[in-house]
Amino acid sequence: MSGRALILGARSAIAQALARRLASKGWDLILAARNCAQLQPLASEIELRQERSVSLWEFDAADFESLEGLPAEVRDTCGDFQLVALLFGYMGNQLRVRSDTSELERTLATNFTGAAIVLSHLANYLEELDEPAGIIGISSVAGDRGRQSNYVYGAAKGGLSLFLQGLRNRLSTTAVHVLTVKPGFVDTPMTEGLDGLFLVASPERVATDIVRAYESRRDVLYTPWFWRYIMLAVRLIPERLFKKLKL
């Protein structure tokens, strides 16, 4: 199972680990990100050590108008791609989003609206390829239940999880497989300096889990695995009790 993979938000720490992992499995790569030139060292490393072809693509998920044309433009420049991995995300400051509309908007626009728009167009492109293809969407355990510490980010990720679920349902009779990934805490710039982190995983561990889950055509992946049970317990707490918890 290989071909060419488009990684959106490729400067993310998890994305870079995923890029190396996919390359080791024989995938050629298109690394799409803001300021994508900064990914040249990673691209050169993968081309040299793993002997895969790597293209760079300038991409901003908040530039909604550019997203419709993206699949055709990427294909015309870089060639057909069969796998899309959506890695970009933005965790706004939960205290600031209470009163700062632009911070709230940015959190929703990046994690939900931009993700939904670009995935819609990419899903149409992959469906028309009529060959085995896939979408890997990185949501979060934060989207499983609203908590006071990050409910705006959580709401956007919860929306993304539902969107991916619907997309999977729509594409289930096609050759396009959709994998939803829900990481717990991961050691990346997004979580740097945050209080209350526990069971923190490395980006490499998460990337390995993602590739394994995609290869075995899983629908939903909690990574590391124990988050499936942690979130099951969290979802089972009655609302009367849950609303009083400091989470």
Question: Catalytic residue positions?
Answer: 153
Using alpha carbons, list the distances in angstroms from residue 140 to 119, 157, 197: 17, 6, 14
> What is the CA 127 to chain-centroid distance, rounded?
20
- Among left, alpha and beta (phi > 0; psi -120 to 50; other), residue 211 is alpha
Q: Is 163 in the site for ligand NAP (CB under 6 A)?
A: no
* Phi, psi at 168, each rounded to 5°: -60, -40
Nearer to ligand NAP, 82 or 140 (CB): 140
Q: Is 13 in the site for ligand NAP (CB under 6 A)?
A: yes
The span from the first CA to the last CA of the chain, in angstroms, equals 41
Nearer to ligand NAP, 83 or 87 (CB): 87
From the list 29, 83, 87, 210, which residue makes contact with ligand NAP (rule: CB under 6 A)?
A: 87
Nearer to ligand NAP, 127 or 204 (CB): 204
Contacts of 52 (CB under 8 A, 6+ apart): 23, 26, 27, 28, 29, 46
Q: Is 12 in the site for ligand NAP (CB under 6 A)?
A: yes
Q: Is 161 in the site for ligand NAP (CB under 6 A)?
A: no
Q: Is 34 in the site for ligand NAP (CB under 6 A)?
A: yes
Count the Cβ atoms, other than its own, within 10 Å of residue 34. Answer: 15
Nearer to ligand NAP, 134 or 183 (CB): 183
Q: Is 89 in the site for ligand NAP (CB under 6 A)?
A: yes
170, 121, 9, 54: CA torsion to nearest 10? 110
From the list 186, 207, 210, 221, which residue makes contact with ligand NAP (rule: CB under 6 A)?
A: 186
Using CB under 6 A, list all residues that contact ligand NAP: 9, 11-14, 33-35, 59-62, 87-90, 110, 138, 140, 183, 185-186, 188-191
